[in-house]
Structure 1
């Protein structure tokens, strides 16, 4: 008797292809988006965090991008339950995570993070540390309790990112992602709304990229040539969803070109809904424009597999399952290269296996009320 193997689904054919990010080969086009959970007491990822990431790698996620992790600068964060990327115990915990993800067949990069002026004075892990930013301004334009960064501050933060990247390679990670999105520190420099500096780090769009570009260059110097450096960026900010770095493709090119030249190997273009075109006159989303303008691989993200954006989800509103046909069309057309999945993968560790295995009938709507019991 001849046994015939059914053809792979269209999703599997498109998503199961490997992709190179500098010297790293990611086994497929599915990435796990970074999602803060605050499950790391004293900033140390424990065995529950090891299991959390390994389960998703074992189920077919090609690239894990960890939740944001604070770099080694006292003003970087404001929680003692969000993981840190400095300190012997913290890095030992992350080494166990990487080992487990690799054993499960996945690849993994940490997201390196400094929150800048989002920080509230007096919060852990370093209560006395001030909030710092390009001009001492919050996203809403208020001054808060922070201050503008000095030259010494700039150098210290650049060094903290470079140290973290070097540590990531040393303990076995496959690359790093720099968090330059959503109104946090790097994005505060990129956006005119929070960057009012009159020195070399402020002014026109190219000048506003200087701080982020110097971080990229410092990271690039501390890691091996084939070690991928990914930059996540966005137009929108927390609490300012209509904010934009660029109103036109030309303005976006002015922002991205210096970052690519500094050593960014891939861009992670964060949007709330991946299917929304970024500029009038084109169907390309932000990731599509990013790849077109820079020639670098691009990761898209934003409510993948769900009908509704993540802001609604974390306000307690559910989101029914949405077809990914449009996503597959764009991947097949090579508009972008990977797709990062957030809430759908947070709720269902088997999401990638179900999609790659043509088991769409097993996908479940997003239910924020169920997240407390998930790991």
Structure 2
């Protein structure tokens, strides 16, 4: 595509350790489309990702693929372990590449730690035996602190999943180190209260993230793109952020990581759902952090959260603070966003704030997230998204799709 005059940077290719036909990056969203008990990609996954590939996004990141089938973040997660059949994963890749050969498909790999509801994981693990906050403790069992040998085993699992993703034909992997999942728990002074080599000092708290990266790199080789998604801040008292976040970027950069995606918050303090919009006037929630990170690292950066208009996307790239524009919810409402934005300099996609009008129901069904999952399900069924759809339809669809699990808290 010839870059349009109104967005020459946004539609320019990125060539380096990371290669992409443009600067659009579909940030990971959990599709919750796997059949429970099978935990494999399905025809529904393939249908959704064909739609996104056809829409012109340069890099597509899968929803979090779990490294351990005994530790799911929610019902419907995909799992990739050492003995998992690779054929469905290879078909996932083909679905994208046959639709758009230039589009990159990367797998996000994850372990939830204690962020797994008790009906899925009755005995969760975490860096320390620190429960989730008071609002969440009824639905999430307090975790057991990991033993040192178990930590080493989890590092190996991350590497195994990454290696198998490459074998299946994926174009890259992303380590999920944000939003309160296991790596994020290790990074947080609040959640990680260990006094051994895996906790205590900032250097020890970030050791797990760095060892996971090093093991993944060894497993996939020097020429395979490896990314991490990390928080600029947890937005939680005693949590991760500030200079520790910048120090992590410096350490990962020195270790040789290829791309860092910047987000923020966790499910106790959910900035990633738009609950905090300190820079909403400029749309990009975390652009100031990225601008500071750019002064300290020349690694490719992506900023995710808040982008709505093509003008704001181009301005963020022109500022030099980021190399990629991470988009999630907007692509569930308009999978053709990159193509539409190329044709319209005034393009805007407002994701809105869906609500049933009953706060307790919104919280029970996690409407701030599940509303967009329901748009993914529409595409999975071969239908178009439905912007403006009533949040009540999401409640009905979630109850139908997930059965009894819909009435249990699925996420922290």
Alignment of 1:11-30 (within 5 A): 11=7, 13-20=8-15, 22=17, 24-30=18-24
1:161 aligns with 2:158: yes
2:30 is matched with which residue: 36, 44, 66?
36
TM-score, normalised via structure 1 length: 0.81
> What residue is the counterpart of 2:256 in the other structure?
263
Other structure's SS at 2:105 match: strand
Return the alpha-carbon distance in structure 1 between the equivalents of residues 347 and 119 of structure 2: 48
1:63 is matched with which residue: 48, 59, 64?
59
Q: Deviations over 1:86-118 (max 9, x none)?
A: 266663222111112122131011100100011
Give the count of matched residue pairs: 337
2:209 is matched with which residue: 205, 208, 212?
212
Structure 2 unaligned segments of length 5 or more: list them: 265-271, 281-285, 355-370, 381-412
Alpha carbons 1:304, 1:342 under 8 Å: kept: no
> What residue is the counterpart of 2:81 in the other structure?
86
1:223 aligns with 2:206: no
Shift of residue 122 of structure 1? 4.4
Compared CA separation, residues 235 and 139, structure 1 to 2 (3 A): farther
Alpha carbons 1:229, 1:265 under 8 Å: kept: yes
Other structure's SS at 1:72 match: coil
Structure 1 unaligned segments of length 5 or more: list them: 1-5, 278-282, 306-322
Other structure's SS at 1:178 match: strand
1:295 aligns with 2:293: no
1:253 aligns with 2:246: yes
Shift of residue 257 of structure 1? 2.1
1:138 aligns with 2:131: yes
Compared CA separation, residues 138 and 337, structure 1 to 2 (3 A): farther
2:320 is matched with which residue: 299, 317, 334?
334
Give the superposed CA RMSD: 2.7
Return the alpha-carbon distance in structure 1 between the equivalents of residues 95 and 130 of structure 2: 41
Shift of residue 79 of structure 1? 3.8
> What residue is the counterpart of 1:373 in the other structure?
378
Q: Deviations over 1:306-338 (max 9, x none)?
A: xxxxxxxxxxxxxxxxx3423311201321100
Compared CA separation, residues 234 and 253, structure 1 to 2 (3 A): closer
Return the alpha-carbon distance in structure 2 between the equivalents of residues 88 and 229 of structure 1: 22
Return the alpha-carbon distance in structure 2 between the equivalents of residues 78 and 199 of structure 1: 27
Q: Deviations over 1:174-212 (max 9, x none)?
A: 110000001110000001010101011111212110011
> What residue is the counterpart of 1:345 in the other structure?
331
Return the alpha-carbon distance in structure 2 between the equivalents of residues 286 and 70 of structure 1: 28
1:357 aligns with 2:343: yes
Other structure's SS at 2:176 match: strand
Compared CA separation, residues 169 and 373, structure 1 to 2 (3 A): closer
Shift of residue 365 of structure 1? 5.1
TM-score, normalised via structure 2 length: 0.74
Shift of residue 78 of structure 1? 4.4
Compared CA separation, residues 360 and 48, structure 1 to 2 (3 A): farther
> What residue is the counterpart of 1:184 in the other structure?
181
